[in-house]
């Protein structure tokens, strides 16, 4: 139930994704069971390069890409639902 979350500290879309995650958890406590391993892309370049993506925020479950780029509540909730099914 861990999502690997690539982000950049100065990315407004990543800050929006963080806000949406908190909103989803506040609306339904079952999502509190999903953990996020947040990896700052510029500080972990080698690890980030081992994944296939172009845009942040980007979520993976294992090596399966769940979401990339501009976040929406629907995309993030769908990713969290996939993590809960694991």
pLDDT tens digits, the chain, 86 residues: what are they?
Answer: 899 999 999 999 999 999 999 999 999 999 999 999 999 999 999 999 999 999 999 999 999 999 999 999 999 999 999 999 98
Residue 54 to residue 31: CA distance in whole angstroms: 27
**2 closest CA partner among 47, 43, 38:** 38
Check the CA dihedral 13-33-63-86 and report its sign: negative
Domains of the chain: 2-84 (3.40.30.10)
- Identify whether the C-beta of residue 12 lies closer than 8 Å to the C-beta of residue 56: no
């Amino acid at each position: 139930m861990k999502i690997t979350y690539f982000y950049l500290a100065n990315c407004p879309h990543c800050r929006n994704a963080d806000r949406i995650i908190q909103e989803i958890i506040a609306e339904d406590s079952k999502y509190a069971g999903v953990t996020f391993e947040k990896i700052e892309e510029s500080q972990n370049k080698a690890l980030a390069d081992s994944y296939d993506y172009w845009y942040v925020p980007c979520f993976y479950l294992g090596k399966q890409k769940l979401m990339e780029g501009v976040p929406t509540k629907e995309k993030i909730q769908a990713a969290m639902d996939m993590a809960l099914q694991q």
